[in-house]
Structure 1
C-alpha cells in the first residue's frame, strides 16, 4: 500500500491539466486537490491545500513556473511536467529546487505515477530529454583533458600560463572524463541526488566519484574542489558543505 498523496496540477493548458488529473485520479492513493492555470494560482492553491506534491509547467502567462518555483518548493516537492526541454531551463528548474523534470510525450501514466510517489520521498525522476540536456550543458562547458595523469613533460607544457589557469588545467588533467562530468555538476550546484539522476548512477556511486575527486584534487570540501576546478581562490569557490 502506498501513502495517500494530495497533488496540485499547474498548467495553463486546460487539456493538459485534465489529462494529468485523469491519469493521477485513477489511482487509489492519489487525489488531485486542485488545479491551477498559472504560477500565482499554483501558489495560492498550495497555501490553501498544503499538497504532498505539485506538478508544475514552465511556460504559463503571468507568473510562470520558474518564477513560482522558489515559493512552491517551500511548501511541497515540485515535479516539473512540461513541453519545455531547453537545457538552461532544465538546469534552472533544478537549481531552484525542482525534484524532477518530465517532458510531455516521454513518460507513460505509470511512470508519472511513480514519479509523483517518489517525489514525496525525495527521489528525483527525469525523462531522457531532460537528462540529456543536463549532460549536454556539462559537456559543452567541459573540454575533456587527457584522461588520468599526463606525463611530467606534457604536464609542464600544458600548464604554461597564469597560476590560476595552471591550477585549473592540472585539476582537469587529473580526473577521468566521468569524474570531470561529476565535478562540473558539483560546480553547478547540484546535490548528490540530482547528480545521480542526471548521470543514471546510484548515490553511492556518486559518493565514490566525489571521494576520488577530492583525493585527486586534495580538496576537503565541495567549495574547495570548485575553487580548484575553476582556478579560483578558496573564497570564490561557492558552497563548502559536503
Structure 2
C-alpha cells in the first residue's frame, strides 16, 4: 500500500485529490495539510511514501517544504502554474516529480505509483523546456569533480538517467537486475550529493553523461 500525504491550501482541491487517490486499491491517503509548515510536520510524523505538494501555500511554500523533506520522503509537486521559477525551483529542491493540476486522474495515480517506486516524472508540457534549458544552453559546464568517483558501471547508469530511462529500462539495456539498478542509482545520488534521480538526469544532460 502506497501511503500519501496531500498538501494544498484549497480544501476543495484537497478533497478532489483525496477522492482520486482513494479510488486506487493500492493507495491510501494518510493525511492532509493546508500549508507548507503543516505538510512538513505531518510528513515527519506520518512518514508517507509520497507527499503530493502544492507550490503556492501560506506560511511555507511548497518548494521550501520540499527542500526540508527530501531525503526522508519523496515529493511529487502538483501545481496550476508551469512557470520556470516553479519548475526549476521544485527540481533543484529535490522533488521527484513535477505535474500540473490539469493532469488526468489516471495519470495522477500512475505518477504517484511511479514516484513511490523510486522513479521520477515530469509533466510533458514542461519537458521540452527542460531539455532546451539544460541541453541547449550554450557550452557544457565543467565536469563536477565528483563524477570521477563513479565506477564504470555507475557511469553507464548515469548516462542512461540522462536519457530519461526508468530503472526497468536501464536494467534491460545494461543486462542486470532491476534491484541492482536501483542500488547503482542510490550510490550515484550519494556520490554526487544529489537529492533525486531527476537532478541526476539533468546533470547527466548538462555534462553529456561524462
**Could you say which residue in structure 2 is the equivalent of 1:231?**
none
CA distance in 2, matches of 1:194, 1:84: 26
Are the structure 2 counterparts of residues 60 and 130 from structure 1 closer, same or farther at C-alpha, using a change threshold of 3 Å?
same
Helix, strand or coil for the counterpart of 1:102? strand
Answer 1 or 2: higher relative contact order, Cα 8 Å, separation at least 6: 2
Which of 128, 133, 148 is the equivalent residue of 2:129? 133
Helix, strand or coil for the counterpart of 2:65? helix
**Could you say which residue in structure 1 is the equivalent of 2:48?**
51
Which of 106, 111, 115 is the equivalent residue of 2:111? 115
Contact 1:125/1:197 (8 A) holds in 2:
no
Q: Structure 1: give runs of 5+ residues left out of the alignment.
A: 143-171, 173-182, 208-221, 223-238
CA distance in 2, matches of 1:40, 1:10: 10
Alignment of 1:23-172 (within 5 A): 23-105=20-102, 107-138=103-134, 141-142=137-138, 172=139
CA distance in 1, matches of 2:17, 2:159: 29
Q: Give the TM-score normalised by the residue count of structure 1.
A: 0.58
Contact 1:123/1:193 (8 A) holds in 2:
no
CA distance in 1, matches of 2:69, 2:161: 19
Are the structure 2 counterparts of residues 193 and 64 from structure 1 closer, same or farther at C-alpha, using a change threshold of 3 Å?
farther
**RMSD of aligned alpha carbons:** 3.0
Contact 2:77/2:95 (8 A) holds in 1:
yes
Q: Determine whether 1:196 maps to 2:163.
A: yes
Deviations 1:126-156 (A, max 9, x none): 11222133124236733xxxxxxxxxxxxxx
Alpha-carbon deviation of 1:193?
A: 7.2
Q: Structure 2: give runs of 5+ residues left out of the alignment.
A: 145-157, 175-191, 193-206
Are the structure 2 counterparts of residues 192 and 109 from structure 1 closer, same or farther at C-alpha, using a change threshold of 3 Å?
farther
**Could you say which residue in structure 1 is the equivalent of 2:201?**
none
Contact 1:99/1:124 (8 A) holds in 2:
yes
Alpha-carbon deviation of 1:71?
A: 1.3
Q: Give the TM-score normalised by the residue count of structure 2.
A: 0.66
Aligned structure 1 segments of 4 or more residues deviating by more than 2 angstroms: 135-142, 191-198
CA distance in 1, matches of 2:51, 2:159: 22
Q: Which structure's CA Rg is the greater one?
A: 1
CA distance in 2, matches of 1:195, 1:88: 22
CA distance in 2, matches of 1:194, 1:11: 30
Q: Determine whether 1:6 maps to 2:3.
A: yes
Alpha-carbon deviation of 1:72?
A: 1.4
Deviations 1:61-100 (A, max 9, x none): 1100011111111221100111121123211211211111
Contact 1:59/1:84 (8 A) holds in 2:
no
